């Protein structure tokens, strides 16, 4: 049995140690996938002395089985489908479009809630570390990586405290580097690997983003 994390903060501290090579590099930007990725990414950004921002991606859950991802959408109009799930369940295009339209509304709401009207930082030529609290199928992270590639960063690093082994391998073909603390063969679900795994609120996300911005400003 692989280790369990006390909570997302503990997971972030342990993940930051694995990313120490990126500390104090002015080209580094840490992007969190909200909401659960934000407390983890906050600890990473703090430890690396890097700015923190959010990158909104929404999972497209199979109707009736929302935990099962048939794909994901990301900022910038990117849609990634999990062809294995779509083909095996024979999910029609109209159903995918319907779920995507609903999730697009939530994606836009989250962007307004967390970032207001502020544009995303310029990513061109930067090292972008994308953080989530765990990777099950990886479809959300895959959508994020593909969307971020459109902005021509120098390097995209995927980072998570825990990930399914096969997901880690497949994301290695999309990202320049994948960093995980724990890669159990028998994964089950992200929540299994945390002692405390309560839902992160919009208010917590905003508070952590503000605290990270203040920390960067003080450091400068």
Write down the domain spans for the chain: 8-219
| Distance set, CA 108 to CA 14, 46, 75, 202 (Å) | 32, 27, 9, 14
CB-based burial, 20-59: b 16+ in 10 Å, e otherwise: eebeeeeebbbbbbbbbbbbbbbbbbbbbebbbbbbbbbb
CATH 3.40.50.2020 fits 8-219, yes or no: yes
Give residue 140's pLDDT band: very low, low, confident or very high (50, 70, 90). confident
Q: Report d(CA 117, CA 101) in Å as an integer.
A: 21
3-state SS class at 137: coil
pLDDT of residue 2: 64
Residue located via tokens 């120490």:
20
The sign of the dihedral angle between the CA atoms of 134, 140, 144, 145 is: positive
Which tens digits make up the pLDDT trace of 43-98? 999 999 999 999 999 989 999 988 788 988 988 788 888 888 999 999 999 999 99
pLDDT of residue 117: 84
- As a whole number of Å, the CA-based R_g of the chain is 16
Q: Are 142 and 163 in contact (CB under 8 A)?
A: no
Tokens of 44: 């990473």
Number of Cβ atoms within 10 Å of the Cβ of 85: 18
Q: Report d(CA 81, CA 60) in Å as an integer.
A: 8
User: Mean of the per-residue pLDDT values for the chain?
Assistant: 93
pLDDT of residue 72: 87
pTM recorded for the entire structure? 0.90
């Amino acid at each position: 049995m692989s280790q369990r994390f006390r909570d997302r903060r503990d997971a972030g501290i342990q993940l930051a140690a694995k990313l120490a090579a990126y500390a104090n590099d002015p080209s580094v930007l840490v992007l969190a996938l909200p909401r659960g990725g934000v407390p983890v990414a906050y600890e990473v950004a703090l430890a690396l002395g890097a700015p923190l921002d959010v990158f909104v991606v929404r999972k497209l859950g199979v109707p009736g089985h929302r935990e099962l991802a048939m794909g994901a959408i990301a900022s910038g109009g990117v849609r990634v489908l999990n062809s294995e799930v779509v083909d095996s369940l024979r999910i029609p295009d109209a159903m995918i479009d319907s779920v995507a339209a609903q999730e697009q509304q939530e994606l836009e709401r989250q962007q307004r809630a967390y970032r207001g009207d502020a544009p995303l930082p310029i990513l061109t030529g930067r090292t972008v570390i994308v953080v989530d609290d765990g990777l099950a199928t990886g479809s959300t992270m895959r959508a994020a990586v593909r969307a971020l590639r459109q902005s021509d960063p120098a390097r995209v690093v995927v980072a998570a405290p825990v990930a399914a082994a096969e997901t880690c391998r497949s994301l290695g073909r999309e990202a320049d580097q994948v960093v995980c603390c724990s890669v159990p063969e028998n994964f089950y679900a992200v929540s299994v690997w945390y002692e405390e795994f309560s839902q992160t609120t919009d208010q917590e996300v905003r508070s952590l983003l503000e605290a990270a911005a203040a920390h960067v400003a003080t450091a400068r």
